[in-house]
C-alpha cells in the first residue's frame, strides 16, 4: 500500500472533507443555488483577506491573478518598484516587463527581506512611481516580508501596494485593510487547502480608482467586468465550479478554527520545524523565516534535490528542493493549509531516515523529539 | 430525494468515473507521476482534436484559451475577419477590439451559418487580413458552421483560421489537420465531460510562425512558454492538477467508445431531439443545427426563460434559455459529453409536463415515443 504525504509549499494537502465535494454532481453556475454559494464564499474570502473590499475569484493559477493585478491598474511606461528577492519577486518583474512598464528593481539577497526605509527613499527619489509590487511569503526562500512597515510608506501616497500572498495567506499574518494594502493576490492550493485552479485578489478603493485610468489590454482577466458580476454574486465567464464548491467548505473550516488561532498554530509549527532542523545540525536558510514554509540548508555533501527525490521515492514524503541557484542547496518543508502536527512528525521521521541513507549522521528520533517538546507547550 | 439532470450546453454531466478522480489525494505537479499523466493526456487530446500538432492545456475557462489565440499570434492594428452570428462570435470581436485589432465583422443572422464564398470574397478584397476567427458550434444559436469549406478558402493563404470549438468538439465533426485549421480552442466542461476550469488549444506550424511575429502582451497565457514546457510534459505554472487527472479518465472513455462512433451517436441524438420537438409541435431554431446542442423555438405564449425556470425548479431538469435577444424565445437542450439516450428521454418526459403546466397542449408521451422510434434505428 503506497502512502504519500505532501509537505510541499503548494499544492498542499487537501482534506477529505474538501475532496469529497469534488466528487459531487456538477451544478450549473447561472443558478440561485450557485449564486448562494458564491455569496457565502465572497464573505468567507473577506474574512481570510482581512478586508471589507471585494475579493475576486479568477479561474486560473495564482499567476493569472498576479498578471491581472498588473494589467488592470497600470498603463504602458508607468514606473513601478519591484522587490526582487526570489523567484516570485522575479515573476512580478517578468510580468511588468511584458506590459512595457518601467521597472525599478529593488534587488535583495535570496533569504533576506526588503527594508521599508529603502522603499521610502526610492519613492522619495522617484515621484513617477505608480505602484510597489512585493510578496508576503517569498516561497522560493521561505522568507516573510514586513508588509506592515512597507504599507506605512506607501499608503498615504498616490500609489498602489500590491502583495503576492499566494503561499503566505492564512499562515503569515496580513491585515489588508488595517495596514493599507491595495491588492492582495492569492491562490487556492496553499492556505486554502484546495486543488490548484483558482486565483484570488482583493481590491481597495484606491485600486479601483487606478483601474479607471489603466489602458493595458485584458479580457479574461478584466477585473472591471469581474467586479460588475461580483455585485450580483456572479462571474463573467464559466467559473471552475467544483473548486468554488470546495472553497465554501474550506472557508468554513478556516472560520471554525479561527484565522488568528491558525496564525498562532502555524507560527508554532514553523518554530518546531526550525528547532527540529537545528536538532539535526541543520540551519534554517532564511533571515526572516516565514510561518508558511521553512527552508533548510542541506548538509554540505548532500544535494537537496537528491534528498528530496530520495525522500519522495523511498518514503513517500514530498518536500521541495530550492529554486534557481539554490536548487541543490536548500530544501523546503511546508506548514500551511491542512498540515497538522502529525504530518510534521511523519515528515521529520522519514527525513531522518533519508538523511541517514545518504550518509548524514543522525541520532534517531532527535528531530521528532524536538517537535514534540515544542508543540507540547500547547497548540490551540 | 432531490434528483437533478443537467442538459445545459456547459457545464455538462460529469460521469461518476471522472468525479471520483476529483476526490483523490492531490499529487504534486513537478513529479514523474504527473508528467506521465500529462504525457498520456497530451496524446489523448491530439486524438480528439484530430491533429498531430501540440494541444496545450491552460488552467482557465475556454475564454482564456480564446484570448490566448488572439494575444499570441497577432499584433496591434492587424486586420482580422470575425464571423458574428451569436454570443460567441461576438466574444471573438470583443477580445480582438481589446487588443486593438482592426475587425472586419461578417455579421450573419442568429441561427444562420456563414458562407465560405463570402469569406473568400472578403479575403480577396482585403489582402491585409491576418486571421479569420469563427466557431464550430455557435452555442448561443445551436448552429454548426461549415469549417471544412471555410478552411478551403483560408488554408493556402498566409493567414490563420482560428475556430472556437468549445461546445462543439467531440460531437460536431472537426478534422483539424485534414481540413487545415490552424488553431482549435476548446474547454473541459462540454464534450470532455469534466468540471469547468481547463481550456485547450491546438497550434499548427503556420500558427507557430505567426507566434514569432506577434507583439501583444501576455504572460499567464504566453503560449511560447507553454510550448517549451509541453515538450517536457510539464506546464509553466501550477496547473489545475485534479482536473487534469480527471481528463486522463475522460480521454480514455472517449477513446474506448471511439471518436467517430461518438460523432455518429450524437448526430443521432440531435436528430431524435429535433424530431421530439417537432412531435410537440415545436420548431428547431437553427438553419444548420449542431450535433452538440439543439435550440427549439418556444411556444408563442410561453417565455422560454420561464419554461427553463419551471423545468428546473419543479422537475430538476436543467436546460438553457436563449441569450441576448433570444432569451425568451428559444430554449436549448444539450446532447454532448456524457449525455446518453436515457437522459434525453427523462428530459423530454419532464419537458412535456412542464409545457403542460404552462398551458401548452401536449399529448402525453409523444416526444418520448419519437425519441425511442428514432434511436431504435440503432445507436452504436
User: pLDDT in tens for each of the 380 residues of chain B?
Assistant: 678 999 999 999 999 999 999 999 999 999 999 999 999 999 999 999 999 999 999 999 999 999 999 999 999 999 999 999 999 999 999 999 999 999 999 999 999 999 999 999 999 999 999 999 999 999 999 999 999 999 999 999 999 999 999 999 999 999 999 999 999 999 999 999 999 999 999 999 999 999 999 999 999 999 999 999 999 999 999 999 999 999 999 999 999 999 999 999 999 999 999 999 999 999 999 999 999 999 999 999 999 999 999 999 999 999 999 999 999 999 999 999 999 999 999 999 999 999 999 999 999 999 999 999 999 976 54
Q: What is the pLDDT of residues B67-78, one digit of tens each?
A: 999 999 999 999
Distance from CA of B152 to the nearest CA of A (A): 30
Question: What is the torsional sign of CA A87, A93, A96, A97?
Answer: negative
Say yes or no: B243 and B178 in one domain.
yes
**A239–B60 CB contact, under 8 Å:** no
Kindly state whether residues B66 and B191 are assigned to the same domain: yes
Q: Which residues of chain A are within 8 Å of residue B4 when distances are taken between CB atoms?
A: 25, 27
pLDDT given at position B146:
98
Residue B2 confidence (pLDDT): 78
Q: Looking at the structure, do residues A113 and A242 belong to the same domain, yes or no?
A: yes
**Structural domain total, chain B:** 2
Based on the fold, state whether residues B29 and B42 are members of the same structural domain.
yes
| CATH number of the domain that residue A342 is part of | 3.90.1150.10
Nearest to A196 among B25, B189, B239 (CB): B239
Out of B8, B23, B219, the one facing A95 most closely (by C-beta) is B219
Same domain, yes or no, for A118 and A192? yes
pTM exceeds 0.80 for this model = yes
Which one of A167, A196, A316, A334 makes the best mutation probe of the B interface by having the most chain B beta carbons within 10 Å?
A196
Residue A122: alpha-carbon gap to chain centroid: 26
Q: Which residue of A has its CA nearest to B66?
A: A220
- Same domain, residue pair A312 and A326: yes
Last-in-domain residue among A210, A231, A256: A256
> Could you say which of B239, B256, B273 is where a domain stops?
B256
End of a domain among B222, B256, B290? B256
Q: What is the dihedral of CA A54, A60, A66, A68, to 10 degrees?
A: -70
Distance from CA of B17 to the nearest CA of A (A): 9
DSSP string, A25-72: PP--SSSHHHHHHHHHHHHHHHHHHT-SS-EEEESS-HHHHHHHHHHT
Q: Is residue A292 within 8 Å of residue A171, measured between CB atoms?
A: yes
- Inter-chain CB proximity A60 and B27 less than 8 Å: no
Backbone angles phi, psi at A99, to 5 degrees: -95, 15
Closest alpha carbon within chain B to A68: B220
The shortest C-alpha distance from B64 to chain A (Å) reads 6
CA distance A178 to chain B (A): 31
Quick check: A64 and B59 CB within 8 A? yes
Q: What per-residue confidence (pLDDT) applies to B377?
A: 77
Quote the domain boundaries for residue A337. Answer: 5-11+258-376
pLDDT tens-digit map of B27-51: 999 999 999 999 999 999 999 999 9
Taking CB atoms and an 8 Å limit, are B242 and A13 in contact across chains?
no
Contact B95 A219 (CB under 8 A): yes
Contact A239, A29 (CB under 8 A): yes
pLDDT, position B1: 64
Q: Could you tell me how many CB contacts below 8 A there are between chain A and chain B?
A: 175
| Dihedral pair phi/psi, residue B155, rounded to 5° | -65, -25
How high is the ipTM of this complex? Answer: 0.96
In this prediction, residue A378 carries a pLDDT of: 62
CB contact under 8 A, A26 and B4: no
Q: How many Å apart are CA B174 and CA B187, to the nearest integer?
A: 15
- Residues (pLDDT < 50) of chain A are 380
**Same structural domain for residues A177 and A34?**
yes
> Considering only CA atoms, which of B134, B137, B131, B93 is closest in space to residue B111?
B137
Mutate one of B75, B235, B240 to test the A interface: name it (highest A CB count within 10 A).
B240
Amino acid at each position: 500500500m503506497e502512502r504519500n504525504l505532501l509537505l510541499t509549499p503548494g499544492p498542499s494537502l487537501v482534506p477529505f472533507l474538501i475532496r469529497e465535494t469534488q466528487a459531487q454532481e456538477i451544478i450549473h453556475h447561472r443558478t440561485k443555488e450557485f449564486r448562494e454559494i458564491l455569496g457565502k464564499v465572497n464573505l468567507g474570502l473577506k474574512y481570510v483577506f482581512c478586508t471589507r473590499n471585494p475579493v475576486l475569484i479568477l479561474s486560473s493559477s495564482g499567476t493569472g491573478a498576479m498578471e491581472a493585478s498588473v494589467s488592470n491598474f497600470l498603463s504602458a511606461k508607468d514606473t513601478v518598484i519591484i522587490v526582487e528577492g526570489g523567484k516570485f519577486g522575479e515573476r512580478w518583474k517578468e510580468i511588468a516587463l511584458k506590459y512595457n512598464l518601467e521597472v525599478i528593481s529593488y534587488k535583495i539577497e535570496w533569504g533576506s527581506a526588503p527594508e521599508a526605509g529603502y522603499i521610502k527613499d526610492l519613492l522619495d527619489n522617484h515621484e513617477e512611481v505608480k505602484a510597489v509590487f512585493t510578496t508576503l511569503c517569498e516561497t522560493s526562500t521561505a522568507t516573510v516580508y514586513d508588509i506592515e512597515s512597507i504599507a506605512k510608506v506607501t499608503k498615504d501616497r498616490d500609489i498602489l501596494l500590491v502583495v503576492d500572498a499566494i503561499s503566505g495567506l492564512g499562515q503569515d499574518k496580513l491585515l489588508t485593510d488595517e495596514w493599507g494594502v491595495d491588492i492582495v493576490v492569492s491562490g487556492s492550493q496553499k492556505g486554502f487547502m484546495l486543488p490548484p485552479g483558482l486565483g484570488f485578489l482583493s481590491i481597495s478603493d484606491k485600486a479601483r480608482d487606478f483601474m479607471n485610468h489603466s489602458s493595458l489590454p485584458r479580457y479574461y482577466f478584466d477585473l472591471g467586468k469581474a467586479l460588475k458580476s461580483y455585485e450580483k454574486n456572479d462571474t463573467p465567464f464559466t467559473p471552475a465550479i467544483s473548486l468554488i464548491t470546495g472553497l465554501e467548505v474550506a472557508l468554513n473550516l478556516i472560520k471554525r478554527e479561527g484565522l488568528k488561532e491558525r496564525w498562532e498554530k502555524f507560527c508554532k509549527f514553523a518554530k518546531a520545524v526550525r528547532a527540529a532542523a537545528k536538532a539535526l545540525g541543520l540551519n534554517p536558510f532564511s533571515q526572516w523565516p516565514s510561518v508558511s514554509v521553512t527552508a533548510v540548508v542541506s548538509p554540505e555533501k548532500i544535494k537537496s534535490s537528491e534528498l528530496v527525490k530520495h525522500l519522495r521515492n523511498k518514503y513517500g514524503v514530498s518536500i521541495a528542493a530550492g529554486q534557481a541557484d539554490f536548487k541543490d542547496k536548500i530544501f523546503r518543508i511546508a506548514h500551511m493549509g491542512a498540515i497538522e502536527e502529525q504530518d510534521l512528525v511523519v515528515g521529520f521521521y522519514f527525513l531522518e531516515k533519508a538523511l541517514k541513507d545518504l550518509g548524514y549522521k543522525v541520532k534517531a528520533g532527535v528531530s521528532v523529539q524536538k517537535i514534540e517538546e515544542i508543540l507540547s507547550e500547547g497548540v490551540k
